[in-house]
């Protein structure tokens, strides 16, 4: 018991020392951070800027090969630059931190594991001292994909390395492995049309063949585009495999038509009347190139 308490105390001291080094000892102890969790390991990653290290708290899952393709897309393709991003199931916070380090306009990260929320907040404080990562705790009473968001919040990019298998969660660490009845997958897909901005993308990393097949079926059932951003053939892979496969899901793009002199989007919402003057983003009147219907 004494040795266990000593180990926990040592880990807390290590955390405080890391915080002091990263922040120039401006404030060695941050009241907004949770130092009570045991540290499993710290590790460096080439993707991180400034030779940064990620701290992993106990019960927080991390397998580097899960998200290799997703990290490459973020770092090498400027896919997040200037964009509003949502990460569902952030874990250590690595993916969200990479998004902010590579020019994301804003990032919201969510997780149902309280240790993961604390871990992501801690890592963000160390690696992003001058930027804000909004980390939100998902309640057990409503574990759906968008439960901690405002009703009107929309994003340019929604990303996740979600749990891959259908199964029962018996302890916090298993939230990273099991999606009971694939309820998280279904809620994520159901909310995409309302949560993605026009032209937005949803990128998911899976390394479990049955889950990928189900995702494809459910996406196409909803009329979504399903794209495999990976050269590997699914039929040639074992049931569980690494690195995980990067998949892109896109709902139908919103379009506009003119009917009865009004612009109408394909979701039935009516926009401005075509014959009415419209303002540009500076408040100046501009002419519409669309002529009103002569027989409204």
Tens of pLDDT, residue by residue, the chain (296 residues): 444 443 444 444 444 444 444 443 334 568 889 999 999 999 888 888 877 899 999 999 988 888 999 999 999 998 999 999 999 999 999 999 999 999 999 999 999 999 999 999 999 999 998 899 999 999 999 999 999 999 999 999 999 999 999 999 999 999 999 999 999 999 999 999 999 999 999 999 999 999 999 999 999 999 999 999 999 999 999 999 999 999 999 999 865 555 555 555 555 444 444 344 555 554 454 544 444 444 54
The answer to whether the beta carbons of residues 239 and 211 sit under 8 Å apart is no
State residue 265's pLDDT score. 55
State residue 6's pLDDT score. 39
State residue 10's pLDDT score. 42
State residue 254's pLDDT score. 66
Tokens matching residue 143 = 């574990």
pTM of structure? 0.79
The answer to whether the beta carbons of residues 180 and 167 sit under 8 Å apart is yes
State residue 284's pLDDT score. 53
Q: Which of 160, 140, 138 is nearest to 149 (CA)?
A: 138
State residue 62's pLDDT score. 85
Alpha-carbon distances of 13 from 60, 120, 215, 235, rounded to whole Å: 20, 18, 44, 49
* Angle 215-249-213 from CA coordinates, rounded to 5°: 20
Grouping H, G, I as helix, E, B as strand and the rest as coil, residue 244 is: strand
Rounded CA-CA distance 70/85 in Å is 13
3-state helix, strand and coil shares in percent for the chain, rounded to the nearest 5: 30, 25, 40
Q: Alpha helices of 128-270 — where are they, by DSSP H?
A: 183-195, 209-221
The answer to whether the beta carbons of residues 22 and 126 sit under 8 Å apart is yes
Alpha-carbon distances of 22 from 25, 27, 50, rounded to whole Å: 8, 10, 11
Rounded CA-CA distance 87/68 in Å is 16
Rounded CA-CA distance 61/178 in Å is 12
Tokens matching residue 112 = 């149902």
Grouping H, G, I as helix, E, B as strand and the rest as coil, residue 280 is: coil
End-to-end Cα distance, the chain: 81
Domain with CATH 3.40.50.150 in the chain: 32-250
Domain at 32-250: CATH code: 3.40.50.150
């Amino acid at each position: 018991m004494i040795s266990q308490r000593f180990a926990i105390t040592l880990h807390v001291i290590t955390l405080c020392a890391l915080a002091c080094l990263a922040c120039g000892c401006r404030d060695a102890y941050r009241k907004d951070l949770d130092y009570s969790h045991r540290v499993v390991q710290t590790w460096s990653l080439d993707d991180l800027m400034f030779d940064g290290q990620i701290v992993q708290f106990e019960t927080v899952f991390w397998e580097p090969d899960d998200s290799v393709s997703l990290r490459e897309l973020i770092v090498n393709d400027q896919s997040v630059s200037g964009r509003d991003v949502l990460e569902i199931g952030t874990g250590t916070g690595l993916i969200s931190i990479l998004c902010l380090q590579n020019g994301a306009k804003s990032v919201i990260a969510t997780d149902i594991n309280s240790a993961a929320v604390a871990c992501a907040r801690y890592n963000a404080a160390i690696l992003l001292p001058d930027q804000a990562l909004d980390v939100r705790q998902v309640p057990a009473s409503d574990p759906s994909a968008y439960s901690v968001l405002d009703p009107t919040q929309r994003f340019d990019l929604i990303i996740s390395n979600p749990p891959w298998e259908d199964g029962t969660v018996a302890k916090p660490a298993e939230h990273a492995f099991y999606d009971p009845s694939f309820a998280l997958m279904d809620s994520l897909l159901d909310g995409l049309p309302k949560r993605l901005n026009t032209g937005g993308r949803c990128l998911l990393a899976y390394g479990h063949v049955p889950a990928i097949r189900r995702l494809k079926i459910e996406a196409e059932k909803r009329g979504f585009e399903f794209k495999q951003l990976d050269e590997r053939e699914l039929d040639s892979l074992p049931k569980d495999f690494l690195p995980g496969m990067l998949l892109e899901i896109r709902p139908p793009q919103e379009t506009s038509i003119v009917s009865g002199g009004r612009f109408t989007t394909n979701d039935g919402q009516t926009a401005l009347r075509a014959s009415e003057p419209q303002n540009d983003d500076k408040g100046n009147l501009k002419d519409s190139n669309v002529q009103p219907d002569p027989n409204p």
